[in-house]
Amino acid sequence: MPGSLFGHLFRISTFGESHGGAVGVVIDGCPPGITIDLAEIQAELDRRKPGQSKITTARAETDIAEIVSGVFDGKATGTPICILVRNKDARSTDYEPFKDIYRPSHADFTYDAKYGFRNWAGGGRASARETIGRVAAGAVAKRILREQCGVEVLAWVSRVQDIEANIDPADVTLAAVEANIVRCPDAAAAEKMIALISAVKADGDSIGGTVDVVARGVPAGLGEPVFDKLEADLAKAMLSLPASKSFEIGSGVAGTYLKGSEHNDEFVMKDGRVATTTNRSGGVQGGISNGEPITLRVGFKPVATILQKQMTVNNKGERVELMPRGRHDPCVLPRAVPMVEAMMALVLCDHLLRQRAIGG
């Protein structure tokens, strides 16, 4: 069963490879009448695109989106919205020398194992270019959440290697996130992060860390027992992003060191609604949103493409030396921020529609 579909009622399917004609997405299930603003979608793609700063890859893609269907007079008609982005700076010749070689910690070998052969010109479907469709669809999902229930989704870089930012999810703003090229709203930490990434880039190496995301204003009642718990769908969403290695909701790993008496969130009344004094639950209890901010952390490994010599094997089973050249992302985190936001928005939007279906 193919795996390029995400969501059930607000459903997206992405297509395209890093070095083919185009990448894109079909969004099916968009509530009719929602404004589809191409500029808004483009703005999100610009946050994701390569070459946007000195700490990202130099691949020069303009990533201009075209809306091919599903919109009339600027509004979603309720039918499938197809958004297309042509590949421009696809230097597949860069990849020709490596077409038989299994690059370490890439998907070359596993795609061969699965399909018998692969599109060796670039990363194929495993390329981060696939996330263009997600980010475009996420822009639509964010608009629905904002317009139809006042939800705001916001992500930021919370750690690069061991440099941690100090951020309060309750009041972080998009402006603060976008204030610097590493997308860390803690300015002091951001400065150190940029310096570290620059140094790593100079070495031809790469580096990992974490992205945090919050959704504020989520109504209570979203999420489904028992398999489609909100945190389960969010975990799947995040672990489907390239290079992700870990997922934590609310108190996360730190919470597993506490006792129940320390971890439980006390219920109180606040502004006439049931609220909690703390939010170790991360806004989700029993798989269902409780009205508090939904808070997650996603860990990303250092990207596998490094400009250093490595030993590996080729598809004939011979030991070979790999010396990559060209362009690479020393740290995926700043560009992962819009991806993480998109995935959060897609999950929430799907569950919003699911909850409406039962008459809630």
Q: Is 105 left (phi over 0), alpha (psi -120 to 50) or beta?
A: left
Between CA 275 and CA 13 the distance in angstroms is 36
CB of 184 closer than 8 Å to CB of 159 = no
Comparing CB distances to a copy of itself, the nearer of 51 and 221 is: 221
Site residues for a copy of itself, 10-69, by CB under 8 A, read 11, 13-17, 20-24, 26, 28-29, 31-33, 66-69
Among 39, 162, 168, 271, binds a copy of itself (CB under 8 A): 162
170-178: Cβ within 8 A, 24+ apart: 170/216, 170/293, 172/214, 177/337, 178/47
Looking up tokens 């608009």, which residue turns up?
143
Site residues for a copy of itself, 126-145, by CB under 8 A, read 126, 130
Between CA 133 and CA 144 the distance in angstroms is 17
Residue 358 binds a copy of itself, judged by CB under 8 A? yes
Site string for a copy of itself, 194-213 (x = CB under 8 A): ------x----xxxxxx---
Residue 96 binds a copy of itself, judged by CB under 8 A? no
Amino acid at 8: H
Among 39, 117, 166, 271, binds a copy of itself (CB under 8 A): 117
Residue 259 binds a copy of itself, judged by CB under 8 A? yes
Minimum distance, C-beta of residue 175 to a copy of itself, in the bound complex (Å): 27
The H or E element containing residue 263 is helix 260-263
Site string for a copy of itself, 277-306 (x = CB under 8 A): ---xx--xxxxxxxx-------xxxxxxxx
Site residues for a copy of itself, 210-229, by CB under 8 A, read 210, 220-229
Residues ≥6 apart with Cβ < 8 Å to 316: 100
End-to-end CA distance of the chain: 32
- CA 261 to each of CA 78, 198, 282: distance values in angstroms, whole numbers, following the listed order: 48, 44, 17
Minimum distance, C-beta of residue 20 to a copy of itself, in the bound complex (Å): 5
Among 54, 58, 115, 187, binds a copy of itself (CB under 8 A): 115
Comparing CB distances to a copy of itself, the nearer of 57 and 206 is: 206
Select the span of 36-44, 57-65, 174-182, 270-278 touching a copy of itself (CB under 8 A). 270-278
Between CA 276 and CA 239 the distance in angstroms is 28
Comparing CB distances to a copy of itself, the nearer of 114 and 166 is: 114
User: Inter-axis angle of helices 38-48 and 131-149, to 10 degrees?
Assistant: 130
Comparing CB distances to a copy of itself, the nearer of 15 and 181 is: 15
Among 91, 258, 323, 326, binds a copy of itself (CB under 8 A): 258
Minimum distance, C-beta of residue 150 to a copy of itself, in the bound complex (Å): 15
State the number of binding residues for a copy of itself (CB under 8 A): 152
Question: Is the preceding peptide bond at 303 cis, omega within 30 degrees of 0?
Answer: no
Looking up tokens 């700043």, which residue turns up?
334
Comparing CB distances to a copy of itself, the nearer of 61 and 248 is: 248
Comparing CB distances to a copy of itself, the nearer of 217 and 287 is: 287
Residue 252 binds a copy of itself, judged by CB under 8 A? yes
Between CA 65 and CA 250 the distance in angstroms is 35
Comparing CB distances to a copy of itself, the nearer of 39 and 359 is: 359
